[in-house]
Amino acid sequence: MRMEMFCGEFHFAALDFVFDLLDEITIKIQKRILFYEKQIFSYARRQLENFFLTVRLTPAVLCAYKNELWGTLVFKLKSIVKEKQVLKCAQ
C-alpha cells in the first residue's frame, strides 16, 4: 500500500507541500535569501495561504487544515531557525 492510498490524495498532497516548503526554506536560508526569523515565518504563511487558494473545502474544514499544517510548519521551522542561527529581532 502506498502512502497516497493510505492517507488520501489531498492529505498526501498537503503533507508533501509542507515538506517541500521546508526544504525550499532551508535552501533559501543557506543561500541567504531568507535571513530573518520573522521573514521566514511570513514567507511560510504566505506560501501556505497560496496553497489553499485553489482548494474547494468548507470554511471550517479549510480552517482546520490550515491550522494543522501551520502547526506542523512552525514545529519544524523552529528547529531549522535554531540550527541555522537565523537573525532574530530583539523586543
pLDDT digits (tens, 9 = 90+) for 30-69: 999 998 999 999 999 999 999 999 888 899 999 999 999 9
DSSP state of 8: -
User: pTM higher than 0.85, yes or no?
Assistant: yes
Tell me, yes or no, whether 48 lies in a domain: yes
Q: Looking at the predicted structure, is the pLDDT value of residue 76 above 70?
A: yes
Give the domain extent around 46.
Answer: 34-85
Tell me, yes or no, whether 46 lies in a domain: yes
Q: For the CA atoms of the chain, what is the radius of gyration? A: 14
Secondary structure (3-state) at 45? helix
Dihedral sign (CA 67, 71, 74, 76): negative
Mean pLDDT of the chain: 89
Dihedral sign (CA 50, 51, 52, 54): positive
Number of domains in the chain: 1
At which residue does the C-alpha cell 536560508 appear? Answer: 29
pLDDT digits (tens, 9 = 90+) for 8-37: 778 888 999 999 999 999 999 999 999 899
- Taking each helix axis from N to C end, the angle separating 9-30 and 59-84, rounded to the nearest 10 degrees, works out to 30
